[in-house]
Structure 1
Amino acid sequence: MPLKIMYGVLYAISPELFPAKDRGTGNGLTATATRVFGILAPVIALYANLSTAVPVYVSGALIIGAGALALLLPYEPRGKASL
């Protein structure tokens, strides 16, 4: 279920937030960042110290930070002109 939500945001909401002239580039950068960090996640887990709870707290902080950033996004771009 979380992957469906992530892809819904990535491919439905993200392109609408970019100005029309930059939409392709913005969507490409968003998709690239998703794949790069998806590749880096197992590498980070390989070198993380799993005897402590620090990786869990770092992951939780990143999720909360991403949620806080998402709250700053416009709620509904429909009916608004692009820059």
Structure 2
Amino acid sequence: MELLPRAGCVYSASGRWWWIVPPRSDSGLNWPGIAEYSVGAVLTGAPERNAAAEGPRLIHRPEGTVPYTHPLVLHIAVCAVAGVSPSWPD
């Protein structure tokens, strides 16, 4: 998360981190192999930290009301962690 100027909500489950990004954030980005982009998640209300809950648990919540991480900045950070150059479709 240190690579990001502002991180949105981040969840963790089974050793994986889940980031919330705005709808259609997959458009025009080639995510590296270490990333798995899932479409269709819905946020209903403010996320809460609940260690006892099953499934993904909230490990980071930003100040303010916007739960998203900027997708382009996240893409560049994920590419840096993966050791690959960011790429966009032609």
Q: Same fold (TM over 0.5)?
A: no
Greater Cα radius of gyration, structure 1 or 2: 1
Which structure is higher in helix share? 1
With structure 1 as the length reference, what TM-score do the two structures score? Answer: 0.30
- TM-score for both structures, normalised by structure 2: 0.28
Higher strand share: 2
More relative contact order, 1 or 2 (CA 8 Å, 6+ apart): 2
